[in-house]
Amino acid sequence: MSRILPGQTDLYALTDARLSKGRPLKEVVGALLDAGIRIIQYREKHMHQRQMLEECRLVRAMTNDAKACFIVDDWVDLAILSQADGVHIGQDDLPVSEVRKLVGQEMIIGVSTHEPKQAKEAWADGADYIGVGPIFATQTKEDVVAPVGLSYLKWVVENLNLPFVAIGGIKEHNIAQVSACGAKCCALVSEFVGADDIKAKVKSVRKAMHRNT
């Protein structure tokens, strides 16, 4: 297993077949890994579970070869069956304590949070990291909550000693703002998988993120 947590690497990529310009998952993930991405989350909402399991096993094999971390969004069963490194859950999913019973102590559990109360609960319940956002408006996720802006991110930086990834509407043109507020790891979806040249986009995003450091 590759227990790479946000903060131990700077960029975190999520898949989305609808935004990938018709390219197969293998091509997209391969380009992300070649560009040095070390955490990849499989997040697909519009497929049958059998196809999703096949794709999860593909990504698992690819991330193993690259010594990268593989996270499955929402689907605890798919994470277990594909031997993923972790699972990421939302506020309406199973509680961290119940997920831990299913996945054991070794698997990473990430939790999406949108306010201090949720962050404190995730920490107390034993989450390995939290998602902080959405920082900006995003169209890559349905039923998304309103943007929390940079104020919640600053609160997390100042009050919690827990690995976290900033997420939501983060792109090359605004990632420096997020980094300047203390985010050591940022998650991107459309900016990566929708790029014509994924490897070049990762390189330019990383440069923008570290421009002021």
Residues annotated catalytic, as ranges: 43, 112, 141
Q: How far apart are CA 205 and CA 193, in angstroms?
A: 13
3-state secondary structure (DSSP) of residue 21: coil
Question: 10 Å Cβ neighbour count for 66?
Answer: 19
Rounded to 5 degrees, what are φ and ψ at 200? -65, -40
Find where tokens 């421009």 sit.
211
Round to whole Å and give the CA distance between 193 and 207. Answer: 18
Radius of gyration of the chain (CA): 16
From 125, 108, 211, 208, select the one nearest 165 (Cα to Cα).
108
Q: How far apart are CA 61 and CA 59, in angstroms?
A: 5
The answer to whether 198 and 31 are in contact (CB under 8 A) is yes
Residue whose tokens read 């790891």 = 185
Q: Using N-to-C axis directions, what is the helix angle for 25-34 and 49-66, rounded to 10°?
A: 20
